[in-house]
Copies of this chain bind each other. A is one copy, B any other.
């Protein structure tokens, strides 16, 4: 498993002439281990457990690299710190206003995700959807 991940990471990096380093591995591992959409700061703190020497600049660099390799997605909600998500399936994010948790909501089977219609002439590159509201736990508690 570990090895599979390392290989996948290495492959992706190699195709861009980039190297598999301990830090990149570490940062990616941190993201895979707890898929709770951490900020760069949080990734930094967790990474230090395995790589005590790592610096915050490196964490930013590594996250950037992972995003460029298509292994990680940035999640921006309002103007709070950018969060990072290793789920590359088509999905959108649900932010619970009560508990602050961010949920991945997978696109429904029939690709029915964006019926986003743009007028003639517009070419859609990427489409980002985010939803705020109350998660099941908090919706129930509020009754």
Q: Is the CB–CB distance between A132 and B140 below 8 Å?
A: no
Copies in the complex: 2
Residue in B78, B112, B118 whose CB lies within 8 Å of A117: B112
How many A residues face the partner with a CB closer than 8 A? 38
Which chain B positions have C-beta within 8 A of A92? 116
Expressed in whole angstroms, the minimum distance between the Cβ of A118 and any Cβ of chain B is: 6
Of A19-27, A43-51, A119-127, which stretch is located at the interface?
A119-127
Expressed in whole angstroms, the minimum distance between the Cβ of A78 and any Cβ of chain B is: 6
CA distance A133 to B116 in the complex (A): 13
In chain A, positions 73-99 with a C-beta closer than 8 Å to chain B are 74, 76, 78-79, 82, 92, 94, 97
Q: Is the CB–CB distance between A119 and B105 below 8 Å?
A: yes
Give the interface centre of A79, A128, A130, A139 by most chain B CB atoms within 10 Å.
A128
Known contacts A114-B115, A116-B114, A131-B116; is-contact A122 B108 (Cβ 8 Å): no
Q: List 6 A-B contacts (CB under 8 A).
A: A76-B79, A79-B82, A105-B118, A113-B114, A114-B115, A121-B136
